[in-house]
Structure 1
Amino acid sequence: MASGVTILDGGMGRELLRMGAPFRQPEWSALALMEAPELVGRAHRAFLDAGAQIVTTNSYALVPFHIGPERFAAQGQALAELAGRIARDAADEHGGGAGIAGSLPPLFGSYRPDLFDPEVAPDLLRTLVAGLSPHVDLWLGETLSATAEAAVIRQVLGSDRRPLWLSFTLADELTDGRARLRSGEHVARAAAEARALGAAALLFNCSPPEVMAAAIGEAATALAGSRMRLGAYANAFAGTGRSAANAGLSPLRTDTGPVRYLELACSWAAAGASVIGGCCGIGPEHIRELATSLG
């Protein structure tokens, strides 16, 4: 069994929902940040207590798609700063030296590469970066559906010297045994772009756990000789495609409990992953299992 794997946290939105935090679409996890920020801190601490070594800021839904363009313009940077501060305070209070990943999310809806606007995206990202910057140790561009999204993140970060981790979401099914981004791009293309952008890690997230090992294996082949880290954090959606991420609360699978999730994660580690965590529907109990066996 692999050892020395860095353990990420799990899915913030579903954990907030389970805790009884204010939660609805379209605001998603941003609603708790605005109305019950103490519960966001409690969720971070639950993942830290479970063994997470890196916690991700609750900034995934701080985009106009979720909170509306007017609120984003008026409060976006302040809310991002609050998200970063809550994560940092939770890590400092925990005392275990956990790192803080600044979440830079898809800006125009999850799983929607067709809506990506490269002219509008930089200004939205600058707002998030300005708010999060005082508090984070690394940048995490996550649930990216296309390599174009990653390129804009690198553009906006400019000369920022903190590590950049890029995490792409994958199509729900393999095609001829191969994984693809939701844009249709091959994993090898994502790996080449991550290398060109100077990323320190290439991850895959918010996708079924069954497609992760193939993606990691393909990335490992494409990045042979590189020092870039690989990793994965899967979701537990029972639904697939766009509806699972944007239309409402998708039901969760019943076959991805902590023990089964660990079994799947071991296959990712065997394929080359050294960073493993969880996405939507993966809670502290899953992270505890990962930390105990892999961390």
Structure 2
Amino acid sequence: MISNIKILDGGMGRELARMGAPFRQPEWSALALMQAPEFVRAAHDAFIAAGSQVITTNSYAVVPFHVGETVFAEQGAALIALSGKLAREAADAAPVAVNVAGSLPPVLGSYRPDLFEPVAAKKLLKVLVENLSDTVDYWLAETQSSVAEVEAVRDVLGDDSRPLWLSFTLQDNLGERGNASLRSGESIEQAVDAALRVSASAVLFNCSRPEVMAAAVQAARAALAAQGSALDIGVYANAFEPADNKRGANEGLSKIRQDTDPAGYLEFAQDWVAKGATMVGGCCGIGPEHIAALKNAFSE
């Protein structure tokens, strides 16, 4: 048994939908915050009960890309603060130590490095940071498609001393040489260089196919070793059908594949850990039952 692996949580949006919470596009997981926040708390509680040692605030979709400019202007700050409050309360009520990661999403569109613009992004990131700051233990810039996106996050955080975790989303297929790359086309080595440059505490890969994660972990571990760094490496993959992995987050709901049941997902995770991952969890379609399987396999 491999131990000392940090267990993250799973995908909030699909878990809310499974629970019967208000859920639709384009609002995604933000709709429950607006209409039935008790479901968000219940989802956090479910992941904690399954073994998550870190839960993530449900702030990913509280950006104009999902909720619209008007709703964000009128309610964005309050909804972001509520996402932090719900996660903090769930963590504080847990019978064991649980930390809260503040989700900082790709504010101008998931999987769309072409839409990134630093001035607009930093304006939105500032609202997220200001309204999560009182409740989080870590900052988690997740589903980042490019180096420029994470540099903007660091600029907004400034000298905030809390650990910054950078999580990148990857292209669906490996390159001709079996190399993983960011959705921007940048390499894993470039992502690692950026993480070290902005003083990140961990490099992760998320919201990507399980099949591409091992190559990313292996490349990240080698790149870190070459620079004398022992940063943590994490993985939380999604469970989308490969042929139905939408290019944009508002293009409809991708179908969930059938071969990423808890046992199947655990097999992928064991390979990631063998290649150097020190943190594992799940993204879209990965629920508490998957987290329980990870916890059982990697607990001390």
TM range (shorter): over 0.9
Instruction: Answer with 116-125 or 240-249: which moved more.
Output: 240-249
Aligned residue identity for 1:191: V
Aligned residue identity for 2:272: W
Aligned residue identity for 1:251: K
- Asked if 1:263 corresponds to 2:267, the answer is yes
Instruction: Answer with 72-81 or 8-17: which moved more.
Output: 72-81
Residues of 2 paired with 1:242 and 1:198: CA distance? 32
- Deviations 1:238-262 (Å, cap 9, x if unpaired)? 1455446331111100000001111
Alignment of 1:105-254 (within 5 A): 105-175=105-175, 176-224=177-225, 225-238=228-241, 239-243=243-247, 245-254=249-258
Residues of 2 paired with 1:245 and 1:237: CA distance? 12
Residues of 1 paired with 2:81 and 2:27: CA distance? 17
Q: How far off its partner does 1:119 sit? A: 1.3
- Asked if 1:31 corresponds to 2:69, the answer is no
Instruction: Answer with 216-225 or 239-248: which moved more.
Output: 239-248
Residues of 2 paired with 1:192 and 1:48: CA distance? 33
Instruction: Answer with 245-254 or 15-24: which moved more.
Output: 245-254
Instruction: Answer with 68-77 or 55-64: which moved more.
Output: 68-77
Instruction: State the TM-score, normalizing by the size of structure 2.
Output: 0.97
Residues of 1 paired with 2:17 and 2:167: CA distance? 24
Secondary structure of 2:211's aligned partner:
helix
Residues of 1 paired with 2:245 and 2:186: CA distance? 16
Instruction: State the TM-score, normalizing by the size of structure 1.
Output: 0.98
- Deviations 1:134-172 (Å, cap 9, x if unpaired)? 000000000000010000000000010000000000000
Secondary structure of 1:246's aligned partner:
coil
Partner of 2:297: 293
Aligned residue identity for 2:280: I
- Asked if 1:5 corresponds to 2:5, the answer is yes
Structure 1: gaps (5+ residues): none
Of 278, 282, 285 in structure 2, the residue corresponding to residue 281 of structure 1 is 285
Secondary structure of 1:79's aligned partner:
helix
Q: How far off its partner does 1:95 sit? A: 2.7
Partner of 1:93: 93
Residues of 2 paired with 1:37 and 1:228: CA distance? 35
Change (3 A) 1:240 1:155: farther
Structure 2: gaps (5+ residues): none
Residues of 2 paired with 1:170 and 1:243: CA distance? 12
Q: Is the Cα–Cα contact under 8 Å of residues 8 and 279 in structure 2 kept in the other structure?
A: yes
Residues of 2 paired with 1:6 and 1:94: CA distance? 16
Give the CA RMSD over aligned residues: 1.0
Residues of 2 paired with 1:258 and 1:54: CA distance? 19
Q: Is the Cα–Cα contact under 8 Å of residues 246 and 254 in structure 2 kept in the other structure?
A: no
Secondary structure of 1:165's aligned partner:
strand
Q: How far off its partner does 1:133 sit? A: 0.6
Q: Is the Cα–Cα contact under 8 Å of residues 111 and 241 in structure 1 kept in the other structure?
A: no
Query: How many residue pairs end up in the alignment?
Result: 295
Q: Is the Cα–Cα contact under 8 Å of residues 172 and 240 in structure 1 kept in the other structure?
A: no
Q: Is the Cα–Cα contact under 8 Å of residues 102 and 140 in structure 1 kept in the other structure?
A: yes
Identity score, percent: 59
Change (3 A) 1:226 1:262: same
Alignment of 1:52-67 (within 5 A): 52-67=52-67
Secondary structure of 2:208's aligned partner:
coil
